[in-house]
Amino acid sequence: MGRLAPSPTGVLHLGNARTFLLAWLSVRSLGGTLLLRIEDIDGPRVKAGATEQAIEDLRWLGLDWQGEVFVQSSRRMLYRAATQRLVDLGLAYPCICTRKEVDEAASAPHADISGVGSDGPIYPGTCRGRFTSLDDAKQQTGREAALRFRVDASEVPFVDGFRGAQIGAIAGDFVIQKRDGGPAYQLAVVIDDAAQAVSEVMRADDLLPSTPRQLLLYRALGLPEPMFVHVPLLIGKDGLRLAKRHGDTSLRHFRERGVSAGDLVGYLAKLCGLRDSQIACTPQDLLAEFDLRKLSVSAMRGDDHELL
Nearest CA among 253, 281, 254 for reference residue 268: 281
- Judge contact between 26 and 2, C-beta under 8 A: yes
Residue 129: CB partners within 8 Å, gap ≥ 6?
93
Give the alpha-carbon dihedral of 255, 258, 262, 266, to 10 degrees.
Answer: -90
Q: Residue 279 and residue 294: Cα distance in Å, rounded?
A: 17
Q: Which of residues 106-135 bind ligand GLU (CB under 6 A)?
A: none
Q: Closest approach of Cβ 4 to ligand GLU, in Å?
A: 9
Stretch that binds ligand GLU, among 3-11, 116-124, 240-248, 249-257 (CB under 6 A): 3-11
Give CA separation, 179 vs 5, 44, 126, 249, in Å: 24, 13, 16, 34
Q: Closest approach of Cβ 44 to ligand GLU, in Å?
A: 16
> Residues 177-206: x/- map of binding to ligand GLU (CB under 6 A)?
------------x-------------x---
Q: Closest approach of Cβ 307 to ligand GLU, in Å?
A: 22
Among 2, 6, 94, 226, binds ligand GLU (CB under 6 A): 6
- Judge contact between 215 and 156, C-beta under 8 A: yes
5 lies in the site for ligand GLU, by CB under 6 A? yes
Angle at 76 between CA 75 and CA 78, to 5 degrees: 75
Among 39, 40, 173, 192, binds ligand GLU (CB under 6 A): 39
Stretch that binds ligand GLU, among 1-9, 53-61, 113-121, 174-182 (CB under 6 A): 1-9
Contacts with ligand GLU by CB under 6 A lie at 5-7, 39, 189, 203, 207
